[in-house]
Structure 1
Amino acid sequence: MSLALLALGCSGPVVDTGEPPVTTKTTPPSPAPPQQPRVEHQVNGFDYAGEVNGATWYFFTTPSGRWECAIVPRVTAGCQAAGGQSSLGITGAPDSVLDATGEESTPNAIEVPRDGEPRFSAVDPPGFGLAEGTPAELPFNRVLSVAGFRCNVQEATGVSCMSDKSRQGFTFSAEGFTPAYVEVPADAP
């Protein structure tokens, strides 16, 4: 009997103070990391490495030679018209963007930063091209996947780059721009 009274004595009255109950905030799970490109489609990043101010960047040109692109490790991946042309010539590109100084400029590049959405930008020469020489060609249906980014070139869709962290990307050709990465098909040669 004393055990039963002891158990009843431990439970006291519930007091309502009028304050909302304490809840714990849960964060949604992070999205699954992007699937790695098929091994047979990947190229060796070493073949595309170049030095810029003591840092390694990865440069490539498209098979047509029309576009030059670079992956700046853990910062951005972007492309521009080869030869330092002042305009991209992409259908649907904006007429102007803000440059690094905040001034209106004609966009001459397209890029995807590590943590942001793809965007058109105005970059000073050499921008995403090599200061001297021509970058190595990235063949059709091959993927350059280095330093938190991946890029590929496909005959049907054009150039495509993506941030592995944000999973944001772009695909473009002279005919237009899409704010999404297009993976090389598994059955591509």
Structure 2
Amino acid sequence: MRGSRPLFVLGAAVVALAGCSNPIVTTKETSEQTAPPVAATTSARPSNDKLVNAFDFYTRTDDVRSGYYFASPSGSWRCVIVPRTWAGCQSSSGTGRIGVTGAPDTVTDADGQSAAPNSIVVGTQEDPQFASLPAEQFKQPSGTPKTLPFNKILAAAGFRCNISQQTGISCMSEQTGKGFTFSTTGASWQYTDVP
């Protein structure tokens, strides 16, 4: 039939194109495949070869200052994962505004006062947000924080963070999937995985 031939050709072309993007080689005829294999969709998860050893970033001095501390490759940002509590970043200068385009003029600090935002954070169960936090919360208690290399992932204590030259710094709560991605040019309220 004339009407069914274009649909068959289009359907075969779609199956053939799907087969080209599928990394799994099959010996079945392409006309027998009705859906791509499940393995083709699992590549969205981060691979273990991008994880750094979290132990290398951990510093414990007391219950308040224990955490996974890291710095950006440029040295402009310092970040921390506070186990099962929050993850966030602050300018290395630790003073003044955060320096991210689009940040609000003020936020409410821990004392309920209006203050300039100097940090970006995500809690275990909370939404990501700009915040005003003391600089010492981002300073490693002893020594210099280790640099987290570009396109590597620090996964520790319920959080995941990475740094990409294309998108900036990104962190998320592994419990909720909520997170942030930011650079000096702006922030978005979602985690961006490394390429």
TM-score of the two chains, using structure 2 as the length reference: 0.74
Within 5 Å, which residues of 2 pair with 1:66-145?
A: 66-145=76-155
Residue 57 of structure 2: aligned partner: 48
CA contact (8 A) 1:42 1:142 kept: yes
Whole-angstrom distance in 1 between the partners of 2:49 and 2:116: 38
SS of alignment partner, residue 126 of structure 1: helix
- 1:123-151 Cα offsets, whole Å, 9 max, x none, are 01212222444210000000000100000
Matched, 1:39 2:48: yes
CA RMSD in angstroms comes to: 1.4
Matched, 1:62 2:72: yes
Q: Give the number of the structure whose residues are more often helix, by fraction.
A: 2
CA contact (8 A) 1:115 1:166 kept: yes
Residue 194 of structure 2: aligned partner: 184
CA change 1:52–1:80 in 2 (3 A) is farther
Whole-angstrom distance in 1 between the partners of 2:81 and 2:134: 16
- 1:70-91 Cα offsets, whole Å, 9 max, x none, are 0011110000000322221000
- After TM superposition, the structure 1 stretch with the greater mean CA deviation from structure 2, 122-131 or 41-50, is 122-131
- 1:7-54 Cα offsets, whole Å, 9 max, x none, are xxxxxxxxxxxxxxxxxxxxxxxxxxxx75311100000100012424
Matched residue count: 151
Partner AA of 1:180 in structure 2: Q
Gaps of 5+ in 1: 1-34
Shift of 1:106: 0.6
Whole-angstrom distance in 2 between the partners of 1:59 and 1:85: 18
Structure with higher Rg: it is: 1
- 1:141-180 Cα offsets, whole Å, 9 max, x none, are 0000010000000000000000000100000000000000
CA contact (8 A) 2:59 2:141 kept: no
Partner AA of 1:134 in structure 2: T
CA change 1:37–1:129 in 2 (3 A) is farther
TM-score of the two chains, using structure 1 as the length reference: 0.76
Gaps of 5+ in 2: 1-43
Whole-angstrom distance in 2 between the partners of 1:36 and 1:128: 29
SS of alignment partner, residue 140 of structure 1: coil
Residue 18 of structure 2: aligned partner: none
